[in-house]
Structure 1
Amino acid sequence: MTDPFALFDEWYAQARETELNDSNAMALATADAQGRPSVRMVLLKGHGPDGFIFYTNFEGRKAGDLLANPHAALLFHWKSVRRQIRIEGSVGPVDDATADAYFATRSRDSQLGAWASDQSRPLPSRAVFMDRYEEVRARFEGGPVPRPPHWSGFRLTPERIEFWQDREHRLHERRVFSRQENAWNEGLLYP
């Protein structure tokens, strides 16, 4: 198979059947404008040949890193199938229609939480956050919850995708795909 997106779909489908929790969880590595790295877990919410989508509060560190330095890396690690996929590429915001459509699928409590949270900022106590949540809940009671202006998504457009398969005696299999203009080149890497 020489299409990295078809191979991703195959591996992702298997992981969704075997991973107990959050088969769509991925580590997202970013670096700020000074090159200081940061990594955290996020959830994949869309994917295809145009890229891999995740959502966040645009006022937090993650979004700040991505807006200052629009390059990132993703890592899926599925222990149950002994596989991982590394993806590197450029990052940009999704359009408003895409963000609105996804936000509408979230549970009402998650929508309200997006309004109540000052993501990544110091929080004096859990009670402060819960009070803000209750204020937001009352504000939107009886009506739809619109997407907050500070909340949207990013799409990572891959330039490199590596598929790693665990093998006995650390004789792992590593397949790498690199984008060259509009085509993908495939190769192997030593374990």
Structure 2
Amino acid sequence: MAELRTRLRQATAALHEQVDAAYSGFALDQPDDYRRFLRAHGRVLGATEIALERAGVAELLDDWPRRARRHALLADLAELGCPAPAPLQTPRINDLASCWGVAYVLEGSRLGGRVLARRIRQADPTAPVRYLEHGDVARLWPAFLARLEQTAPDCAWAPMLAAAEATFGVFTAAAAIERNYDYS
């Protein structure tokens, strides 16, 4: 049987591409678009992290406090003079399987952060990038995958996949809202 991460990556590949396409529409070297990008993430991240915590993610990932990024995101938004956006409805997290599915998407979302932060800093060296630079990705992602492979294979596949799919969907919806929101 394929590794769980491989199954998740293959099963959600089309949704991952939709998220990438939705966020590639933001010109991060433009201050307004960077704010919209952060607001889109803010519509998903904070409420989803809280939902994960209520569902017991700290039991699955004992280093969860180091992984949570909502405070870094809120600090970046505040520095840019943006209030926290209204959150979208979080994916349902009913069991450990769905907890793993949501966590898979959130943890994977940090992978490109360093590259994006460098691009943003080239355009504006003073831009706040705490959220994008949060955590030691070189350790957090491999540790997450190891934990996923050790602990989650006994979890039911259907709710894990459904939770991952729903999380990708919320990120896509948040990007669309921010791209189309009229701030004038």
* TM-score normalised by length of structure 1: 0.28
Q: Greater share of helix residues, 1 or 2? A: 2
By relative contact order (CA 8 Å, sep 6+), the higher-ranking structure is 2
Q: Greater share of strand residues, 1 or 2? A: 1
* TM-score normalised by length of structure 2: 0.28
